[in-house]
Homo-oligomer: A and B are copies of this chain.
């Protein structure tokens, strides 16, 4: 299909060796991309491995070169999404600002994740379809995400940027709205994921923000066109480039255990 002819001529002699590994990883990711799309489209149980394979122009047993089984594929899809969320949390936690600021940043990023496949997998897939071990990992990670929301809210209450409220319920309310995006959002719609994300960041914090967004009644800020504060070009995804990738890891990622913690693995270009 691609990149077959060159590389051996003027490239490093090591490259063929590495290119094979890279080809493998790319194939692995291709499987995941196809699988997550199919799982979302037809549901985990409705989707068959035969269909996954067919869309990749291979046959079912070939998939078993890369994954141990269907449930591991599911887990890996989820895992990628989880890493993306972890990155969001790490980034918002690292950045400064009040509790409310952090909360809003997290909402923006989380919301946008929910508009993409791997993000959707976090909320659309059923945890019970995973193996015992992986299910525990997922549950733990979900608690961590929940805690991030609660912590930011609690911090906001502390520093005065958020009205006094029950962080637990407030976090549930916010997370619910955000997770729901993963159910209704379709890329073809009139709203971009980014637009939805920024709208939600305002809307969901309007009720608990103490720094009132002061909607002066004279300006009707129609809120959904251009009222959003322009969102400083803070889109810096190119932070911390994809440096260390070939840290000779197990070529199967297998065991899947312990993979949900360190999210810095800098997945290349996802979504």
Contact surface of A with B, Cβ cutoff 8 Å = 42-43, 45-46, 126, 128-129, 163-166, 169-170, 172-181, 183-184, 191, 196, 199-200, 203-208, 215, 220-224
Contact = CB atoms under 8 A, between A and B. Distances in A.
B126 A164 contact: no
Contacts of A164: 220-223
A130 to B, nearest CB: 11
B203 A204 contact: no
Contact of A224 (B45, B166, B205, B221): B166
A154 to B, nearest CB: 13
A200 B215 contact: no
Contact of A206 (B179, B199, B208): B208
A256 to B, nearest CB: 20
A175 B170 CA distance: 15
A21 to B, nearest CB: 36
A190 to B, nearest CB: 10
A189 to B, nearest CB: 10
A184 B42 CA distance: 24
**Residue among A172, A176, A178 with the highest chain B CB neighbour number at 10 A:** A176
Contacts of A43: 126, 128-129
Nearest to A202: B207
Nearest to A124: B126
Contacts of A179: 176, 180
Given A128-B43, A206-B206, A207-B207, A175 B180 contact: yes
A8 B220 CA distance: 75
B165 A223 contact: yes
Contacts of A178: 176
Nearest to A196: B169
Nearest to A195: B169
Given A172-B180, A176-B181, A204-B207, 18 more contacts: A43-B128, A46-B129, A165-B224, A166-B222, A169-B224, A172-B181, A173-B180, A173-B203, A173-B204, A175-B180, A176-B176, A176-B177, A176-B178, A176-B179, A176-B183, A180-B180, A206-B206, A207-B207
A173 B177 contact: yes
Contacts of A180: 172-173, 175-177, 179-180
A36 to B, nearest CB: 16
Contacts of A191: 169
A163 B204 contact: no
Contacts of A181: 172, 176
B173 A200 contact: yes
